[in-house]
Amino acid sequence: MSADLDQMFAMAREAQAAAYAPHSRFRVGAVVRAASGRLYSGANVENAAYPVGTCAEAGAIAAMVLGGDRAIAEMLVVGDGEALCTPCGACRQRLREFAPDAAAIHIAGPQGIRRSFTLGELLPHSFGPDNLA
């Protein structure tokens, strides 16, 4: 991993450890690298009424917006288990609001990055801000 990815992975693992997941016990951490180079992390926050929970990716994006950035260069998501912990459909659309098709989305497990995708691979033929221009 590059030094940037090492730092993103460390921050994502820290966020994952802080996740609030008493119902599923499936903790997720995410880190966004904004186009400015600044890093923002987020953790999943569950709720007994499942649709009200928040994904780690959404938390990282919200932190980025709060920090004043508006463009995502790449994201790293970490989750446990054998299956890849890719962003859900809603989070793929949230990413699309701030990231180009070519943005790298790195999927990690406890030992490190398992696979990288582009946002375009995860959300092909997407509807985004440019459709409204």
Instruction: Compare 108 and 2 and report the one with higher pLDDT.
Output: 108
- Mean pLDDT on 15-31: 98
82 carries an active-site annotation? no
With a cut of 70, say whether residue 13 has pLDDT above it: yes
- Mean pLDDT on 105-118: 97
What's the chain's average pLDDT?
96
Instruction: Determine which one of 14, 46, 57, 97 is catalytic.
Output: 57
CA distance linking residue 23 with residue 91, whole number of Å: 20
CA distance linking residue 103 with residue 73, whole number of Å: 6
Structure tokens at 95: 């990413």
Within 8 A by CB and 6+ apart from 22, the residues are: 46
pLDDT band at 1 (very low <50, low <70, confident <90, very high): low
Question: Quick check: 124 and 92 in contact, CB under 8 A?
Answer: no
pLDDT in tens, 52-100: 999 999 999 999 999 999 999 999 999 999 999 999 999 999 999 999 9
| pTM for this entry | 0.96
At the top level of CATH, the class of 3-127 is alpha beta
- From the CA atom positions of the chain, what is the Rg in Å? 14
